[in-house]
Amino acid sequence: MKPVTVGPAGRAAYECDLHSHTTRSDGNDTPRESIDRAAARGLRVLAITDHDVLPPEEVSLPDGSVREIHAYAGERGVCLLRGIEFSCETEIQDVHIVGFGCDWEGPDMAREVARIAESKSGSYLELIRRLNERGYRIDLAELLAAGGREIPVAELQKKAIFDYMAAKGYVSAWREAKLLVREDPALNVEREKPGALRIIEAIHRAGGTAILAHPYLIDEQVRFQGERIGRWQLIERLAGAGLDGMEVRYTYDKTTCRDRRPPEAIWAEVRSRMPEGLFVSGGSDYHADYKKGQDNPRDLGECGLTMEEFLSVPVFARLYRTGG
């Protein structure tokens, strides 16, 4: 799995990006804008994997009408995959499971999304209260309207708080805000997250496929089910519980990853240590952060899979044939 050289200006390095976010969670592009950008960058496959919310069925057009999302993407030469990224494990940062191919209208996904929305609201309001105590003045009404549309507290994402802090000049960028909160016990308000094993099971019950996102954002040593274990021990346990795939290519150099090696070195290590039976995935974790003035933001297709790699995975090939 060799790195692909970035092509001409404006074109993506990889044709398939299987990890991105929109305004439905903490991204800054609408689903339509994400699809348009994917088409402009030459992507053939784009996955929208917003945090803890069911994926969109439609896109809103400038004239106020709506269009079925697969049809809209297909007209632009893009296969759209609908997915979800679950944040798991209360005691461990960045254990995220991406689900594809689920029965989105069934009870399993709806139940998990409702549970998560309830747990998020209380913890994020508490974080805002503590930040205000520290002198980081955060106006809740302003925060909820910061994305251009007013959202309920139940839809608030933690990254939106970090973006707000950067916009106010409290920190230089969202990554600095995330580190500030993560490293300060007084600010690190942990919400109750679902267990990764439960989410893998729920995705499978819904007929879907479970993929571990960005494994090297997980700390080298973690506490899992009351036991202190290593990162790869955790991954082995997830694999034993039915995990299907893992992100190999990811934009580690543009996140809060503690491992500062070149991303290609991390990709190679992940690939070499993957438990047997898992398939390879990859994505940029695009948030359209350039709209918030972020320096060196992630872009669609910056990480991902080649079309050949994508179609070599039976699950992805099936989703491609059936329209995501």
- 16-33 pLDDT, tens digit each: 999 999 999 889 999 999
pLDDT of residue 204: 98
What was the pLDDT predicted at 158? 87
Q: What is the DSSP letter of 100?
A: E
In this prediction the pTM is: 0.86
Q: Do 75 and 206 touch, CB atoms closer than 8 A? A: no
Q: Provide the pairing of β-strand 95-100 with 245-249.
A: unpaired
Residue type, 167: A
The pLDDT, as a whole number, for residue 150 is 83
| Distance, CA of 314 to CA of 298 (rounded, Å) | 28
What 3-state DSSP class applies to 308? helix
| pLDDT tens-digit map of 271-282 | 999 999 999 999
Helix (H, G, I), strand (E, B) or coil at 159: helix
3-state secondary structure at position 20: strand
* CA 173/CA 127 separation, integer angstroms: 18
Query: What rounded mean pLDDT belongs to the chain?
Result: 93
Check residue 255 and report its DSSP letter: T
Is 251 in contact with 272 (CB distance < 8 Å)? no
Domain map (residue ranges) of the chain: 16-322
Where the chain has pLDDT below 50, the residues are: 1-9
Q: What is the pLDDT of residue 6?
A: 42
pLDDT at 7: 42
What sign does the CA torsion over 308, 311, 316, 319 have? Answer: positive
Q: Which CATH number fits domain 16-322: 3.20.20.140, 3.40.50.1980, 3.30.420.40, 3.40.50.10860?
A: 3.20.20.140
Name every residue whose Cβ is closer than 8 Å to that of residue 27 and which is 6 or more positions away in sequence. 20, 21, 34, 50, 286, 287, 288
